[in-house]
Homo-oligomer: A and B are copies of this chain.
Amino acid sequence: MRKESDKILIVGGDRRFDAAEDVLKSKGYSVSRITDEKGAEKELNEADVLLLPLPYTADGVTVYQPDGKGPIPLSAVLRSLRPGKTVLCGKADAELRSAAEKNGAVLLDYNAEEDFAVKNAVPTAEGAIAIALDMLPVTLNGSRVLILGFGRIGRLLAAYLRGFGAAVTVAARKPSDLAFAEAYGYEGVPFSRLAEAVKEKEAIFNTVPAPVLTQEVLTGVSRDAVLIDLASKPGGIDRQAASVLGLNAVRALSLPGKTAPVSAGRYVAETVMRFLSGTEGDG
């Protein structure tokens, strides 16, 4: 889609984008970066490709950049959009999409790519295990663990936990997911038997973004258990009920950037390079 000679500008971002910059440069791309407003306008105008962070903004006003030198106003980015410019962005919202469209710029959301999501499931699963290792007073080896959901993250969690010699149970809705779980050697239980499945588990990992660990189900959870909620948005644990029951529940979000920023940055770079080389994606 784009020539390799195009100028890429990384706008703001966290540690992941240090790594993304390194990878892109090592692959021969022409990359520069701005971390404050100084000279931003000129750079934004001259760049062929803008690489925005993930998320591209946290406050709706400036580009996301937790440790940057100074704020970069979103308005400066929007002003620079024009035909021939490509914006690569994580979690594009309606506002950014319409601004790009209005100005004839191409907008691509790397966070919406299936392979990017699969790659990020790795540090998410590893981060969840790091939390479990920290919180559990027992070893993962020999523990009975329950994983809710058998999608990208659930599958990797199951594999990694089994590597420790944990006894892994997977709760899933689809019969084919349950069949897959058992084909890998895990115990599979349908969600209809969740209230029973949570019993006598040392650790419970939720990956389902729906209220699955309800008050009723939580009453069966051991007081010694650790509950780790990896599901986005509303999460899957009734936090209030967990608190009343005295359960040990934590919410773990955005793990890739926290536990493995260099890997997470590489994933950004790899998806960006796929976009720029025009290789077809998962579609």
Contact = CB atoms under 8 A, between A and B. Distances in A.
Interface of A: 15, 19, 113-119, 121-123, 126-127, 129-130, 133-134, 136-142, 152, 155-156, 159-160, 162-167, 174-176, 178-180, 182-186, 259-263, 274, 279, 281-282
B180 A137 contact: no
Copy tally for this chain in the complex stands at 4
Contacts of A279: 175
A210 to B, nearest CB: 17
Given A133-B130, A163-B162, A260 B179 contact: no
Contact of A183 (B118, B129, B167, B259): B118
A163 B174 contact: no
A164 B185 contact: yes
Nearest to A256: B139
Main secondary structure of the interface of A (DSSP, over half): helix
A119 B177 CA distance: 10
A75 to B, nearest CB: 33
A181 to B, nearest CB: 9
Contacts of A282: 174-176
B138 A262 contact: yes
B162 A139 contact: no
Contacts of A182: 119, 141-142, 165
A173 to B, nearest CB: 9
Given A138-B263, A141-B185, 12 more contacts: A115-B175, A119-B182, A121-B183, A126-B139, A129-B133, A130-B130, A137-B260, A139-B260, A139-B263, A159-B184, A163-B163, A165-B185
Given A139-B263, A183-B141, A259-B133, A164 B126 contact: yes
Contacts of A134: 130
A129 B113 CA distance: 30
Contacts of A175: 113-115, 274, 279, 281-282
Cβ-closest 4 pairs across A and B: A163-B163, A165-B185, A115-B175, A114-B176
7 contacts: A19-B137, A115-B179, A116-B179, A118-B179, A122-B183, A126-B164, A133-B133
Contact of A122 (B141, B160, B186): B141
Nearest to A123: B139
A185 B156 contact: no
A167 B142 CA distance: 13
Contacts of A137: 15, 19, 260-263
A178 B134 CA distance: 27
A259 B136 CA distance: 8
Most chain B CB within a 10 A radius of its CB, from A118, A139, A185, A263:
A139
